[in-house]
Amino acid sequence: MYEVYGVIGDPVSHSLSPIMHNLAFKEKNVKAVYGAFKVRPSDLAKAVEGIRALNIKGVSVTIPHKEKIIEYLDEIDEIAQEIGAVNTILNKEGILKGFNTDWIGVLKAFEENGVKLKDKKVVVIGAGGASKAVIYALIKGGAKKIYVYNRTFEKAKLLEKKFKITAKPWEELKKADGDIIIQATSVGLKSWETPVGEEIISRFKVAMDIVYLPLKTKFLSLAERYGKIIDGLQMLLYQGVEQFKIWTGMEPPLELMKKAIYEEAKNLEKEILK
């Protein structure tokens, strides 16, 4: 019998998770299929009941449900609790447990690019759901100073309180500087926009964008003139690797998954930007 896995979110039509996980299941001879389920915010409670009723074995959780889903699950892993967001559910004999693997995705992406976070001054733009995992990773990686800038200042303030970092008003972004800059807003997703201009970007030696469609965002295109760039697909890949381990206890085929999602992202990019 085949087991069922999937991603819930809204939108999910461009999710690369089905490609990545179905490939890994096949390669590791796991009898399972992974689908994409569009779930509107108002249907989230019903969707969780559906996971239980249909005995769906594992679920990836994406925008906009990562925070809200916590109240519907039976158990939350300690780190996911600390971050305040869940991107992975494991269904273990009817008990739904939430985990967060996004932060590992961020850490691994830096590691794989040979960028050390220890003692670095890091600027994070954006204070949405994904920023929490980004900031948690930076703290775990030993960053010395973390500044978060957000259009809605109150949300940056909440992160300041939660993680003991420094919130900065959006208007001060033009004065930002440091070692590493991370673009964690949704600006530039399926569009050619950046929340910060070249003058600011040029002050950093490393730039990461967590948006991955297009693969090389406008932000990254400007940043590559001044230093190393890290695209958002790397975070997606490594958070997916950790999900697969949680669900199956197996090491997934990393290189195959990587190749498949980069190919698909390039195809989608052509479709989106034409």
Distance CA 89, CA 147 (A): 30
Under the binding rule (CB under 6 A), the answer on residue 80 touching ligand NAP is no
Residue with smaller CB distance to ligand NAP, 95 or 273 = 273
| Residue 51 contacts ligand NAP per CB under 6 A | no
91 is in an annotated binding site: no
What secondary structure does DSSP assign to 102-143, as a single string? HHHHHHHHHHHTT---TT-EEEEE--SHHHHHHHHHHHHTT-
Query: Does 155 contact ligand NAP by CB under 6 A?
Result: yes
Distance between CA atoms of 224 and 204, rounded to whole angstroms?
Answer: 10
Which tokens belong to 228? Answer: 């190393």
Q: Does the annotation count 116 as an active-site position?
A: no
What is the number of residues in the chain? 274
Task: Kindly tell me which residue out of 52, 151, 205, 258 binds ligand NAP, with binding defined by CB under 6 A.
Answer: 151
The Cα 175–Cα 11 span in angstroms is 35
211 binds ligand NAP (CB under 6 A): yes
DSSP lists the bridge partners of residue 122 as 146, 180
Nearest distance in Å: CB 155, ligand NAP: 5
94 is in an annotated binding site: no
128 binds ligand NAP (CB under 6 A): yes
Q: Assign 151 to helix, strand or coil.
A: coil
By CB under 6 A, tell whether 185 contacts ligand NAP. Answer: yes
Residue nearest to ligand NAP (CB): 128
CB closer to ligand NAP, 187 vs 200: 187
Count of positions on this chain that bind ligand NAP (CB under 6 A): 26
212 annotated among ligand-binding-site residues: yes
| Contact pattern from residue 4 through residue 43 relative to ligand NAP, giving x for each residue in contact according to CB under 6 A and a dash for the rest | ----------------------------------------
Sheet (strand 32-38) strand order: 32-38, 3-9, 58-61, 88-92, 95-99, 75-76
- Label residues 120-148 b or e (16+ Cβ within 10 Å = b): bbbbbbbbbbbbbbbbbbbbebebeebbb
Q: Rule CB under 6 A: which residues touch ligand NAP?
A: 63, 102, 105, 126-131, 150-152, 155, 184-187, 189, 195, 210-212, 232, 235-236, 239
Positions marked catalytic? 66
